Amino acid sequence: GCVLVVSVIEQLAQWHNSTVKAAVERLCDYIPGKYQIMHHMFIDRKMNADVVCHSLRLCKQDPGQPLCHLYSPPKREKHSSGLFHALAHAGPKHRIRSKIFMGFSSVCAFPLLANLCEKIKFVLRNKLPFEDFDGDKFSTFPTLRGYHWRGRDCDDKNTTVYPGRRPDNWDAKSDSNCNGIWGVDPKDGIPYEEKFCKGADSKGVVLLGDSAGAHFHIPPEWMMVTQMSAKSFANLPMAFSDELDWPQFSEITGFLNSTIGGWTDSLYLRLRKRNRCNHRDLQNISQNGIVYFPINMAPYLSFSLARNQLLDNPAIVIYATIGNDVCNGERDTLAHMTTPKEMLSNVVQALRYLDSHLPNGSHVILTGLVDGRFLWDNLHDRYHPLGQLNKDVTYSQLYSFLDCLQVSPCSGWLTPNETLRNLTSERALQLSNVLKEIARSEKFANFDVFYMDFPLRQTAEEWRKMGGEPWQLIEPVDGFHPSQIAAALGTGITWQKALHEWPQVLGKENPFNDQIEAIFKDQGGH
C-alpha cells in the first residue's frame, strides 16, 4: 500500500512539475470526502518508493526473508546491492519527514473509512445485504451486498415480497416478485402476471463464484497520473462498499451499463430479454479469494442463498471458481492447491446441499478452471499502469514484488518459472476433469448438471477478430482477473453453447415480451 501511494505521489509531482507537498495536497483534493491520509510529506526525489517506504518503516524485511521491492534497485558503483545501500544512507539528512502519515498498514485506519470498514466486515462475515430491513436477503440499497449483487427488493418491509418468487395470487393486487408485472387488465379482468407469465418457464440466475465472478476491478486511473483527476475517484466510496468488485457489470449477473470500460453483456440480461418475467431474478454469491466452498456447506449457503424450494421459481446456478483452487500466495504453492479428491468431495457436497434447497426444474452449470498461462504469456513484458510514465515497472516486476510479499493472487501462474506455470495448468486441468465427470455421472432430484470449459481461448479468438489484443482481456491493475471486455465476450460464447446444446436450460422465449414493454411504456413505468 505504501509503495503504491508513494509512487502515485512522486509521479504526480513529476507530471505537474510540483513539490511533493503540492502533489500530496492535489491527491487529497482528488479523493472524495477529503480523506486526509497524509500531508506535509517531504521526500528526497532521488529516492524511489521502495526506499521511501522502508525508511518510513511501513515496509520491513523479516529475518531470513528477501528484501521485497517493486522498482529496480538504485544503481551503485560496480555493486548490485543498491537498495541496501540506499536504505543505509537514508539518514536524518535525507530521511522522509512526516508530521502525519498514517493508515497504510490498514485502509480501515483512514478516519472517514472506519465506519465503512465495520459495515464491510459485517458483509464479509455474512455474505448478506447490510441494509435489509425485512430480512429476506434482498435490499433497496445498491452496495454492501445490496442490489448490485442480487435483484432489487421492491418492498423492504415485507419478507414475503422479493425477486424470484412465484407470484402471490398472480400479483393481482401487488408485485410480490418485484418483476414489475402486477395488477389486472381492465379489458378482461385477467391479472397481467397470469396473462403474460403463466407457463413462461420463468427462472432466475445464481452465481457461486470467486473474485472473477464478483468482477474484481481496480480502476487504472487511480494510479495513472496522466489520467488522474477528481473525476477519477468519484466512484471510490462505491468501490470500497462493494469490496472492489463490480457485480453490476459482471458476466453472469451484470445489469447496468458499464462505467469501467467495455460494455455489459450478461447471462441475466439475456435471460431477461428472452423472458421479461425474469426481471430482477439474480443473485451473485461470489467472494474474493474463495477456493472451493467450505467442507461444511450449510452455514455458507444457508446464510447467502435466497431460494425457497416451495415458493420460488427454478434457478440456473453457475458454479464457477475458475482459478483459486490452484491459486495461492504460498511459497510452496503446489502443496496448497486443491487436490482432485478434495474437489470431488466438496463439489458433490455443494450439489447435494443445493438439491435440498433449489426448486424442482432448476439447472446447474459447472465451469472448468481457466488456463492461467495466458496471463504471463501476454503481460509479463508489458508496462504496468504504475510504470507507464517512466517505463520502470513491468508486470513481471509486479508479480515478483507480490510473490516476495507472499500476497500474490497466484504464485503458480504469475511467475517466470515456466515449469511451475505448466504444473499449475496441469492441476487446473485435473480439477476441470473432476467437474466434467461429476456432470456426467452424478444425478440429482431437483436439477440436472452440465459442464463447460472456461471459454478463454474462444474469447481471445473473438477479440482478435474484432481487432483487439489478448492483453486487453486482462485487468490492467492486478494483471490477473478477466477484464470487462473479456466478461462481455464470454457471455456471448456461453449463451451460444447453451442455446445449441442445452436449450432447456435457458427456457423458451416469451411471446408477450413486446406487450409487457408496451404496457409499461403506456403507463409511464420502467
Active-site residues, by number, are 211
What is d(CA 337, CA 410) in angstroms, rounded to the nearest whole number?
A: 10
Cell 481496480 found at:
218
CA gap 86, 69 in Å, rounded: 12
Classify the phi-psi angles of 277: left when phi > 0, otherwise alpha if psi is within -120 to 50, otherwise beta.
alpha
Q: At what angle do helices 340-355 and 418-441 cross, to 10 degrees?
A: 40
Cell of 260: 469501467
Q: What is the DSSP string of 325-380?
A: TT----TTGGGGSPPHHHHHHHHHHHHHHHHTTSPTTEEEEEEPPP-THHHHHHHT
CB neighbours of residue 79 within 10 Å:
10
Q: Between helices 484-501 and 267-274, what is the axis angle to 10°?
A: 50
Give residues with Cβ within 8 angstroms of 296, minimum separation 6: none
Separation of alpha carbons 8 and 72, rounded Å: 17
In Å, what is the CA distance from 162 to each residue of 197, 265, 283, 313, 401? 17, 24, 12, 12, 46
CA atoms of 309 and 90, how far apart (whole Å): 65
8's grid cell: 502515485
All cell numbers assigned to 389: 510514465
